Amino acid sequence: MRIDILTLLPELLAGPFSASIMKRAQDKKLVEIHFHNIRDYATNKHKNVDDYQYGGGAGMVMSIEPIVTIIEKLQHERTYDEVIYLTPDGVLLQQAICNDLSLKGNIMLLCGHYKGIDERIREHFITKEISIGSYVLSGGEIAAAVLTDAIVRLLPGVLNDETSALTDSFQDHLLSPPVYTRPPEFRGWKVPDVLLSGNFPNIEKWREDKALERTKDRRPDLLNKTQ
């Protein structure tokens, strides 16, 4: 998989992809992640990438020309399965979206800033618009990092235990059950006996029950999706 991220602030993205799972995935050649500075494609003297919005109003708008230039340059080099714009008014990111995107080959992510991008970019180049939550960030870089992490960890070979991602929260519209590790007792707080029993059918039933119980308590909206 290859992910190209279009940004005004590539330095914001260096940290999340230079450690832990994201670094290992790149070192193992399971994913290529490339940053592209939109400002490098500005043609004006001062490398401005924003302008006042037509019709007046507060806030600047990202200019159309440098963004279109870089999108078309990359599209000339390879075919992209999705060109995604990270925006608060996009579809809310869900695990199912991450699952689907993890099956793609090439993805391009566009990080917004200011009041957003010129609408003509959205109309003619963007294939999917995604929001990571009902709030506004200073820019799309953090959202791009979140989305990339959620996709890459699903790629075969990225996690040491490939079944781990399949049992994460949201995979079956349920939250994950409680988990425990050694010691079996700490300050009088005991691990549930069933987890120490070695009876794996009973353990699996306990986990299913606890996942359902936790979901009903904390995210009942998830259960509505299965009805």
CATH of the domain at 44: 3.40.1280.10
3-state secondary structure of 180: coil
Q: What is the pTM of this model?
A: 0.88
- Per-residue confidence in pLDDT tens, the chain, 227 aa: 999 999 999 999 989 999 999 999 999 999 999 999 999 999 988 889 999 999 999 999 999 999 999 999 999 999 999 999 999 999 999 999 999 999 999 999 999 999 999 999 999 999 999 999 999 999 999 999 999 999 999 999 999 765 566 556 566 789 989 999 999 999 999 999 999 999 999 999 999 999 999 999 999 999 986 55
Who's near 140: CB < 8 A, 6+ residues apart?
7, 85, 86, 87, 109, 110, 111, 112, 113
Domain count, the chain: 2
Do 148 and 173 share a domain, yes or no?
Answer: no
Decide: residue 57, CB within 10 A, 0-12 exposed, 13-18 middle, 19+ buried: exposed
Do 66 and 36 share a domain, yes or no?
Answer: yes
Do 173 and 139 share a domain, yes or no?
Answer: no
CB 121 within 8 Å of CB 68: yes
Do 173 and 201 share a domain, yes or no?
Answer: yes
Range of the domain at 200: 169-224
Residue 158: inside a domain, yes or no? no
**For position 198, which CATH number holds?**
1.10.1270.20
Do 38 and 83 share a domain, yes or no?
Answer: yes
CB 12 within 8 Å of CB 140: no
CA 185 – CA 13 distance, rounded (Å):
41
